[in-house]
Amino acid sequence: MAQTTLISKDQIDQRVAEMAREISTEFAGSDLIALCVLKGAMFFCADLVRRMTMDVALDFIQISSYGNQKYSSGVVTILKEPQLDMRGKNVLIVEDIIDSGLSIREVTTYIESRGAAKVKTAAFLDKPKARKVPFTPEYVGFSIDPQFVIGYGLDFAEKYRNIPEVQVLSD
């Protein structure tokens, strides 16, 4: 398998800082829950949240992943539920990557059903051309072509999450 750099560590740092500024401006003076979608978004969420300038609570949700596949099964189940009371709160779902849109749509519907006032999404990466269901995240780090990427939290069969940049994994 070949690995080629798509987004460098410097580009990531710069863009995540910009996103944090944008989000901090929009949510200034209001409470926010950052909901990290495990496991892929953990590095992105950690970097994003620590650059936010308003009060922010942190919570986690885990949903079923691709397993060891490069393609989505299309079936989404919740493996770990969030702990915080979301009723009347602003929730920012922090996701690693949006591909078909199926996962983020499920998470959004679920968080809305827990009574959140406003639900928005910050996605580190977006593959808009890969959508099977319509979904437009409010904040996007980088839009990329439909290809399989790893690094900065993103895995293939649990490997490569610790690579500090984004790479394309090809056969």
> With CB cut-offs between 5 and 8 Å by kind, which of Mg ion, ligand 5GP, none does residue 11 bind?
none
The binding track of 32-61 with respect to Mg ion, each residue x by CB under 5 A or -, is --------x---------------------
Task: Confirm or reject binding of residue 35 to ligand 5GP (CB under 6 A).
Answer: no
Where does this chain touch ligand 5GP (CB under 6 A) — which range of 9-17, 28-36, 113-121, 146-154?
146-154
Give the C-alpha separation, 108 to 155, whole Å: 23
Structure token digits, residue 92: 């920012």
**Residue 99 appears among annotated catalytic residues:** yes
For helices 42-49 and 9-26, the axis angle rounded to 10 degrees is: 60
Give the residue from 122, 121, 126, 89 showing the smallest Cα distance to 108.
121
Q: CB–CB of 139/65 below 8 Å?
A: no
The answer to whether 146 and 130 have CB atoms below 8 angstroms apart is: yes
Q: Which of 96, 99, 126, 155 is catalytic?
A: 99
Interaction between residue 137 and Mg ion (CB under 5 A): no
CB-CB contact of 49 with 35 (8 Å)? no
Q: Catalogue the active-site residues.
A: 99
List of residues contacting ligand 5GP (CB under 6 A): 40, 65-66, 72, 95-104, 148-150, 154-156
List of residues contacting Mg ion (CB under 5 A): 40, 96
